Structure 1
Amino acid sequence: MTHVTVDGRDAPGQRGRVKVWDPLVRIFHWSLVGLFAFSFLTGDEWKKAHILSGYTIAGLIAFRILWGLVGTHHARFSSFIYAPSTILAFLRDSLTFRAKRYLGHNPAGGAMVILLLLMIAGIATTGYMMTTDAYWGIEWVEETHETLVYATIGLIVLHVAGVVLASVEHRENLVRAMVTGWKRAE
């Protein structure tokens, strides 16, 4: 069994495990989950809180893009952006429970990260536009904002389904890994 060390010292209770998700990735992930849900629930009902939540989400997205360029190995986009053919092959293998296990994001998970970042950036952008004089009350901006929100919810459902599928297929609790940062080394 692999023995993992942290900063050259033994990692107590982590024999056979490796730290994959750094604290900033995990804080980003769960903050985005909470703020997206909060923003969805407040919508037209609590405008000021909704707008503040949207600005916070925009800041989180900006941080994640930066961290995707300069962050830790598994946080970097270069570690999880794959060719479309690789993504499709991975999805096919997943549906037959023959997918390769990845320590970081698998090809489908990496694609989902990019899609969600783009969609939520679009939501934040159209949300901001709706607060400006130039776009106040412009129907296509409001419709685009709402369409992006519901499309993102669809992606979230697919993301959760993918996490469940991969957790079952590889006998690994990926939700716990995103809370603790640790995954099985092998």
Structure 2
Amino acid sequence: MQARPGERNGSASPPYQTLVWDLPVRLFHWLMAFSFAGAYLTAEMERWRTVHVTLGYTMAALVCFRIVWGWIGTDYARFSSFVRGPRATLRYVRSLFSPRPQHFTGHNPAGAVAILLMLATTMALAGSGWLLYTGRAGAWMEDGHELIAELMLALVLVHIGGVLAASLLHRENLAKAMLTGRKRADAGAKAQGRRAGTALLLLLAVLAFWWWQAGHAEAPASGATSAAQRHGAHRGDDD
């Protein structure tokens, strides 16, 4: 089977470094990582509830941006460049146990599955959190929200493990690539534009939302407050 541009099946022309990840993709990645870490750590802190909610909303907005950028962004940011079917994914996983594993300039098929799962889980997490915070759901939603949060954490850990494994197998630092944007490319791959203007607009939008939330965030709805209080009392009884 002929490899796509940016895909290598074992041996090909010598690889080289080129700009693969544009600035919006990198900014999205690290803002998501920061927001999830912050939201997870403040989940049980009542005094940090506004921060927790703000970061949750930020994650949902970032996913919406990523979906749009997955259609109109640079080549390797588009879903069409890295989302593949089950056969291609299984073929990639099998190749990892061979002397010459498949290499992809952009996301590999296994990484694509993890990305899609994390995007979907983020929206479920933000949606359940919104229902709970606004009092549109009962205390049962809190257990569901926490379950989704733990699922998200598991996906993040699997993603990190996959990045480390791929970095070792392909002998390239994928974490550094998401910082610099530069990655080992194969025959047929072309350098991507930086899209600094889009990244700046994204960053300004996030900072503006955080600033607005800091000054205008309202107290939780009575239903959400009572649910949180009941949950806290329940935890106290368990202790």
With the length of structure 1 as denominator, give the TM-score of the two structures. 0.86
Structure 2 regions of 5+ residues with no counterpart? Answer: 1-14, 187-239
Partner of residue 208, structure 2: none
1:52 aligns with one of 39, 51, 54: 54
In structure 2, the CA distance between the partners of 1:152 and 1:98, relative to structure 1 (3 Å rule), is farther
Give the drift of 1:134: 2.3
Aligned amino acid, residue 16 of structure 2: G
Deviation, structure 1 residue 138:
3.5
2:216 aligned partner: none
TM-score under structure 2 length normalisation: 0.68
Q: Kindly report which structure 2 residues correspond to 1:79-158, keeping only aligned pairs within 5 A, or say none.
A: 79-96=81-98, 98-135=100-137, 137-139=138-140, 141-158=141-158
Q: Percent identity?
A: 41
- What SS class does the counterpart of residue 101 from structure 2 fall into? coil
SS at match of 1:62: helix
- What is the deviation of 1:96? 4.4
Q: Summarize deviations over 1:38-63 as a string: whole Å, max 9, x none.
A: 00000020211101111111111111
Matches within 5 A, 1:31-42: 31-42=31-42
* Amino acid across the alignment from 1:167: S
Q: Specify whether residues 122 and 95 from structure 1 end up closer, same or farther in structure 2 by C-alpha distance, changes over 3 A only.
A: farther
Structure 1 stretches of 5 or more lacking a match?
1-14
* 1:95, distance to aligned residue in structure 2 (A): 4.0
Greater length-normalized contact order (CA 8 Å, ≥ 6 residues apart): 2
Which residue type is aligned with residue 52 of structure 2? H
Q: Which of these two proteins has the greater Rg computed from alpha carbons?
A: 2
Cα offsets for 1:87-134 (capped at 9, x unmatched): 122122224454201000000011111011001111011111112232
Alignment of 1:7-46 (within 5 A): 16-45=16-45, 46=48
How far apart, CA to CA, are the structure 2 residues paired with 1:151 and 1:133?
A: 23
How many matched pairs? 170
C-alpha contact 1:97 1:169 (8 A) present in aligned 2: no
Q: Alignment partner of 1:101: what SS? A: strand
Residue aligned with 1:104, SS:
coil
Q: CA deviation at 1:19?
A: 0.7
Which of structure 1's runs of 4+ aligned residues deviate more than 4 A?
A: none
Tell me the amino acid that sits aligned with residue 178 of structure 2: M
SS in 1 for 2:104: coil
Q: What SS is found at the alignment partner of 1:154? A: helix
Give the structure 2 partner of residue 11 of structure 1.
none
RMSD: 1.5
